[in-house]
Amino acid sequence: MEQTVHGTHDLFLVAVSFLIALMASYTAVDFARRTALSKGWERRIWRLGSASAMGIGMWVLHFIAMLAYRLPLVVDYDLRTVWLSLLVATVGSLCALLVAGTRSASLLRMLSGGIVAGTSFLAMHLLGLSAMSGVAFTHAPEALQASALVAMAGLTSSLLLTFGSIRRVTRFRRGLRSFLSAFVMTLSVSGMHYGAMAGSHISPLDPGLVDEALARSAGLPTGMAVSIALGTIGVLGMAQLGASHADRRLARQVATNGSILESAIDCILMFDHRETIIEFNPAAERTFGYKRPDMLGKPLARVIDLQTLRSRQRDPKAAGQPPGEPYADIVGSRLTATARHAEGHPIPVELAITRIRTDGASLYTAYLRDITERERAERLIWRMAYTDMLTDLPNRNGFNETGAKALVEARTNGKPLAILFVDLDRFKLVNDTLGHRVGDLLLQAVAERLKAQLAEADMLSRLGGDEFVLLRGAGPDEAAATAGRMLEFKAPRELF
């Protein structure tokens, strides 16, 4: 009949294994969070560090827990199998992070990552048991299945806590979530280990070597467990020191970027592909009248008239653009748009948009400049160039531009166009005898009388001096009648 032996657990070493694994899990979760927030080679380094911490932590939990399990016979370990179990745990952790380690990962990817990690840790457990010499293990299938389900469910929950809503929580809540994630990870793998061990039967290969006194002996297992624990703490401490250095460097970079945002003269708005604002700098606060906390998470349409931007876009399907890229055509371009102040009045702005890609999604930065004064100056310059400042009529430049268009339109449509020139007799005598001020008043009075005779489509211009010209869409007879009415302007006018 096959002999079965039973061991006892050293509760001190059990507690040590759990605490070391918890520390490693917290380091793994912390590094995994950095993985989701970084890119390029930094992301790969953080992912490898997270996988290493996770694999080493779960391996230490298993190995010290086995050292804490005192059997009534001498047990040795095959080091090659032991190191293989560590490799399996680390590679499985890396695969799980590759599957689920992004901020935009779906629930299915999180579940897949939990299954990959749980399977690798169960394989690590079985490899670790097979490394023990002098004993044979018989596993109850039901216990293994239940243990695997516990590990997979717990690890999936840990991944959800790690990667869910990374950017949208406060620092305190992020730290709490990290601790909960590490605790759930450690607890689930501990449950897998002890659940699987509870369903295992251990038989000595040589019953003659069984000695119950060995089950109560501390000796070598305790010393080895303490050495492994101290070594693991040293490795984790060095990893955390490196992470702290990276944090300080990142903090300096963030502070520099923040000072750039705060000191920038132009308005800077950052938004995602859903057109949700994620940054709103002080210049934008001053220009638009909103406070930054009130705008974070709000739609971009609250500030910018998006119809102006969308009118510049081609059809995404026709242009071969990927979905979720609303501004691909205007990235890097400079254009004018209409923004809106908090009080409701429109603000003309000059706008440029840039884009970066992160986790497969686009983040946009809009640089805006209030051009109200510039447009006012441009309108004034245009008015001075095309308008007679004395009579507020189009000047020679205005007549030349509009008259040329009217001639082309009349010729194209086959319609008549009359041009009437008006000249004041003895105007120079008025200027010479009564002064230029009276001459200016006379020109203004003549302009008012001529404008009173205009139809909606007519154009009256002052070419200079006392010369006026009228464009009217009329034939010879109607033009002659208009000229006759102009000659009747003989009623006296009191100028001052």
pLDDT band at 222 (very low <50, low <70, confident <90, very high): low
Separation CA 481–CA 240 (nearest Å): 96
Question: Above 50 in pLDDT, residue 247?
Answer: yes
The mean predicted confidence, pLDDT, of the chain is 79
Please give the model's pTM, rounded to 2 decimal places.
0.53
Q: Where in the chain is the domain with CATH 3.30.450.20?
A: 265-370
> What pairs with residue 350 in β-bridges?
336, 369
Q: What's the confidence (pLDDT) of residue 325? A: 61
What are the pLDDT digits (tens) for 294-331?
Answer: 898 899 888 988 877 766 655 545 444 555 566 666 77
Q: Taking 80 as the threshold, does the pLDDT of residue 86 lie above it?
A: yes
Question: Are the C-beta atoms of 375 and 364 separated by less than 8 Å?
Answer: no
Rounded to 5 degrees, what angle do the CA atoms 101, 85, 13 make?
Answer: 95
Average pLDDT over residues 47-73: 82
d(C-alpha 24, C-alpha 232), whole Å: 8
- pLDDT cut 70: percent of the chain above it: 76
The SS3 assignment for 50 reads helix
Q: What is the DSSP string of 371-387?
A: -HHHHHHHHHHHHHHHE
In 131-140, which ranges are continuous DSSP H helix?
none
Tokens linked to 87: 């490799």
What pLDDT shows up at residue 492?
Answer: 61
Judge whether residue 366 has pLDDT over 60. Answer: yes
Write out the CATH class of domain 386-487. Answer: alpha beta
Encoding tokens for residue 461? 């211009």
Q: How many CA atoms lie within 13 A of 356 on its CB side?
A: 9
Query: Would you place residue 402 in the very low, low, confident or very high pLDDT band (cuts 50, 70, 90)?
Result: confident
Q: What is the pLDDT of residues 277-287, one digit of tens each?
A: 888 988 899 98
Decide: 20 and 233 in contact? Cβ < 8 Å: yes
pLDDT tier for residue 223 given thresholds of 50, 70 and 90? low
How large is the average pLDDT for residues 224-242? Answer: 69
Where does CATH 3.30.70.270 sit in the chain?
386-487
Q: What is the pLDDT of residue 213?
A: 47
Give me the DSSP letters along 78-123. -HHHHHHHHHHHHHHHHHHHHHH-STT--HHHHHHHHHHHHHHHHH
Q: Which region among 175-184, 255-264, 384-393 has the lowest average model confidence (pLDDT)?
A: 255-264
According to the model, what pLDDT value does residue 319 have?
45
Other beta carbons less than 10 A from residue 106's beta carbon: 10
Q: What is the pLDDT of residues 190-221, one digit of tens each?
A: 888 888 887 777 776 666 555 554 444 444 55
pLDDT at 231 over 60: yes
pLDDT at 218: 44
Q: Which of 253-257, 390-394, 492-496 is most confident?
A: 390-394
Asked if pLDDT for residue 112 goes beyond 70, the answer is yes
For the segment 36-61, the average pLDDT, to the nearest whole number, is 81
* Maximum Cα–Cα distance across the chain: 142
Pick the CATH number of 265-370 from 3.20.20.150, 3.20.20.60, 3.50.50.60, 3.30.450.20: 3.30.450.20
In this predicted structure, the answer to whether residue 257 has a pLDDT above a threshold of 70 is no
